[in-house]
Amino acid sequence: METEREPMAGGDAPAAFAGRALFEPIAHLLAGFTRPGLPGLVALDALLHQQAPSAASGAGQPLRFVRPPADLPGYEALIHATGQVPTRADDWHDFFNALAWCVWPRTKATCNALHIVETEHRAAAGLSGRGKRRDALTQFDECGVVVVSSDSQIPALLAAHEWEEVFWRRRARLAETTRFMIVGHGAWDQLRAPFFGLCAKALYRVVEPSWLVLPDAVRQRETDAWLAARLADPTFLATPRALAPLPLLGIPGVTAESGSADYYRDARQFRPQRRSGADAQSPLVD
């Protein structure tokens, strides 16, 4: 049964994306919206309470989706203090953000809390600007992906930008051992119409093979809990350099153009790894 919706403008039905690669974490939610246009606030609140009834802000305030106030004091600050998530009407980006709260509630709440902690620490220290950790958190929230694999060589090779080796020569092994779990709502928005060079920011995780046979919902909850716990470590994701670029159109199944080895030899999209400074870091492989 389709979730009740408020009248919205026309456009693609969200269900049209349910079967596409990389939409797996939210596919079951998208499938419920079969009519053109996006659901309104009432429907999104109902979906959140159904999927993640204990979802709360970083300060523990129960969540609800609201139209952005005219005097928005600060996006993360508003969510933290009130649980109100600004959500624009007819906006795919904000729609996907709402779905991200449904499937990544612990991760989103942890990110929200960390934004406030970092802001307060910098203010107390007399520092201006957002700081590297907030920039890293924002990048991951917008375009993050967790690459989970039971083969430790896969994350290591991807982190080293060995694109052809992983995506082409080890394609069968990749399908057998590895899952790409999108976290960033901005990435889902861009994947509606993928473009040349589309890139995500990856964190890599190595698991036991038994993880791969868990039900999808169990894997999702477990990864959400794992990610929230890792993000709470102040040494984890301290700078945007800890995130690894991942060309999403290289993942098998995302575009039909990836069906040949030559596809992965275009350095405009599949760039080799470079070290450009003393502060460059290796991407996190956990």
Per-residue pLDDT of the chain (286 residues; tens, 9 = 90+): 233 333 333 358 999 999 999 999 999 999 999 999 999 999 999 999 999 999 999 999 999 999 998 887 799 999 999 999 999 999 999 999 999 999 999 999 999 999 999 999 999 988 888 999 999 999 999 999 999 999 999 999 999 999 999 999 999 999 999 999 999 999 999 999 999 999 999 999 999 999 999 999 999 999 999 999 999 998 999 999 999 999 999 999 999 999 999 999 999 999 999 765 434 445 556 7
Q: Show the tokens assigned to 158.
A: 């991807």
The verdict on 73 and 190 lying in the same domain is no
> Quick one: CA dihedral 105, 106, 109, 112, positive or negative?
negative
> Within a domain: residue 233?
yes
The verdict on 261 and 141 lying in the same domain is yes
The verdict on 87 and 176 lying in the same domain is no
The verdict on 153 and 236 lying in the same domain is yes
**pLDDT on residue 199:** 97
- Specify the number of domains making up the chain: 2
Helix segments in 83-233, DSSP class H: 92-103, 105-124, 132-143, 153-159, 163-164, 171-177, 185-191, 216-231
The verdict on 141 and 57 lying in the same domain is no
Three-point CA angle 149, 155, 157, nearest 5°: 140
For residue 184, give its domain range. 134-265
The verdict on 69 and 178 lying in the same domain is no
> Within a domain: residue 177?
yes
The verdict on 171 and 79 lying in the same domain is no
> Within a domain: residue 77?
yes
**pLDDT on residue 284:** 59
The verdict on 147 and 250 lying in the same domain is yes
The verdict on 180 and 226 lying in the same domain is yes
Domain endpoint, select from 85, 103, 121: 103
> Within a domain: residue 9?
no
CA–CA separation, 102 and 110 (whole Å): 14
Instruction: Assign residue 285 a region (left: φ > 0; alpha: ψ between -120 and 50; beta: otherwise).
Output: beta
> Within a domain: residue 156?
yes
**pLDDT on residue 275:** 66
> Within a domain: residue 124?
no
The verdict on 217 and 139 lying in the same domain is yes
CA–CA separation, 193 and 172 (whole Å): 26
The verdict on 180 and 260 lying in the same domain is yes
> Within a domain: residue 279?
no
> Within a domain: residue 183?
yes
The verdict on 24 and 79 lying in the same domain is yes
